[in-house]
Amino acid sequence: MGRMDDKVALITGAGNGIGREMALAFAAEGASIVVADASEDGGRATADAVAEAGGVAGFARVDVSSAAQVEAMVGFAMATFGRLDCIVNNAGIFPGDDGGVTETPEATWDRVMEVNLKGVWLGCKYAVPALLESGGGTIVNVASFVALMGAATPQIAYTASKGGVLSMTREIAVEHARAGIRANALCPGPVETPLLAELMSDPARKARRLVHIPLGRLGRPEELAKAALFLASDDSSFMTGSALVVDGGITAAYTTPE
Ligand code: NAD
Q: Does pLDDT of 91 surpass 80? A: yes
Pocket of ligand 1 from Cβ distances under 6 Å? 12-13, 15-19, 37-39, 42, 62-65, 90-93, 115, 119, 142, 144, 188, 190-191, 193-196
What atom in ligand 1 is closest to the CA of residue 65?
A: 18
Instruction: Tell me how many degrees the CA angle 89-93-96 measures, rounded to the nearest 5.
Output: 165
pTM of the model: 0.98
Measure CA of the first residue to CA of the last residue in the chain; give whole Å.
Answer: 44
The 32-37 sheet, strands edge to edge:
56-61, 32-37, 8-12, 86-89, 137-142, 181-188, 243-246
- Band (pLDDT 50/70/90 cuts) for residue 8 is very high
How confident is the model at residue 76, as a pLDDT?
98
Q: Does pLDDT of 203 surpass 90? A: no
What atom in ligand 1 is closest to the CA of residue 20?
A: 26
Q: Does pLDDT of 196 surpass 80? A: no
Query: Where do the domains of the chain lie, and which CATH numbers do they carry?
Result: 8-242 (3.40.50.720)
State the chain's mean pLDDT as an integer: 96
* pLDDT tens per residue, range 45-89: 999 999 999 999 999 999 999 999 999 999 999 999 999 999 999
Rounded-to-integer distance, Cα 230 and Cα 239, Å = 10
109 φ, ψ (degrees, to nearest 5): -55, -50
* pLDDT tens per residue, range 138-172: 999 999 999 999 988 899 999 999 999 999 999 99
